[in-house]
């Protein structure tokens, strides 16, 4: 009797049909709403909403499975599934189709803009922290100046890394915008 009860209890537990992920990057930003990802040639290809984005694996801090997946409209339903409920949908766009490519690029652009915003917030936080430490006293002796420089070195390095990442993102954004303009 207890085995049957245990079996029924296990069957009643919720089982996630799809997984969603939150990807944390070493620069402090995080991408949520990621429907899936794959590792390819030292790069993490991230699929979300209407597009995908490639990120070097060395920039990824961790990948965390989250509870609520976003609807991935790129997937096709299995044949015969929910035939009575929904009429047949028009065929999906071909991967070489101009509008499909435009929507993928717009998804990438949205993702890049989101990451740029996160990077800029991180940059502002670091600049403020450095300025607060430097401006806390008006005069320092040489020993205090040396100690201050040692304390600020990691913050300056992190700021430099953030600014490099921001430059990379702005370059990616310009490339995607250029390709979008050529398609339109």
pLDDT > 70: percent of the chain: 69
Instruction: Give residue limits of the domains in the chain.
Output: 19-73, 93-184
The residue whose two tokens read 């339903």 is: 77
**Phi then psi for 163, rounded to 5 degrees?**
-70, -35
N residues, the chain: 184
> What is the structure's pLDDT at 121?
92
CA torsion sign, 8 to 14 to 19 to 24?
negative
115 pLDDT band, cuts 50/70/90, is: very high
The whole-angstrom separation of Cα 33 and Cα 70 is 6
> What is the structure's pLDDT at 130?
82
What value does the mean pLDDT take over residues 17-39? 76
Residue-wise pLDDT tens digits, 142-168? 787 788 888 888 888 998 898 999 999
pLDDT > 90: percent of the chain: 9
> What is the structure's pLDDT at 124?
92
What value does the mean pLDDT take over residues 122-140? 80
The whole-angstrom separation of Cα 134 and Cα 79 is 65
Residue-wise pLDDT tens digits, 39-67? 888 888 888 666 777 888 888 888 888 76
The whole-angstrom separation of Cα 106 and Cα 110 is 6
74 pLDDT band, cuts 50/70/90, is: very low
Topology at the third CATH level for domain 19-73: SH3 type barrels. (2.30.30)
Stronger pLDDT, 78 or 178, i.e. the higher one: 178
Using DSSP, state whether 128 is helix, strand or coil. Answer: helix
Lowest mean pLDDT among 41-55, 63-77, 78-92, 119-133: 78-92
136 pLDDT band, cuts 50/70/90, is: low
Torsion of CA 60, 113, 102, 75, to 10 degrees: 50
Question: What's the whole-number average pLDDT of the chain?
Answer: 75
């Amino acid at each position: 009797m207890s085995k049957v009860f245990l079996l029924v209890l296990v069957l009643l537990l919720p089982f996630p049909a799809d997984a969603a992920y939150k990807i944390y990057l070493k620069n402090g930003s995080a991408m949520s709403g990621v429907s899936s990802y794959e590792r390819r040639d030292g790069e993490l290809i991230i699929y979300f909403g209407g597009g995908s984005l490639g990120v070097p694996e060395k920039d990824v801090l961790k990948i965390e499975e989250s509870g609520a997946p976003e609807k991935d409209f790129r997937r096709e339903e299995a044949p015969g599934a929910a035939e009575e409920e929904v009429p047949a949908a028009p065929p999906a766009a071909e991967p070489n189709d101009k509008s499909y490519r435009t929507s993928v690029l717009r998804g990438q652009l949205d993702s890049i803009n989101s990451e740029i915003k996160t990077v800029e917030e991180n940059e502002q936080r670091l600049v403020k922290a450095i300025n607060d430490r430097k401006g806390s006293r008006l005069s320092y002796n040489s020993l205090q100046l040396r100690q201050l420089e040692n304390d600020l070195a990691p913050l300056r390095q992190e700021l430099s890394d953030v600014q490099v990442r921001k430059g990379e993102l702005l370059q990616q954004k310009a490339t995607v915008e250029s390709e979008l303009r050529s398609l339109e």
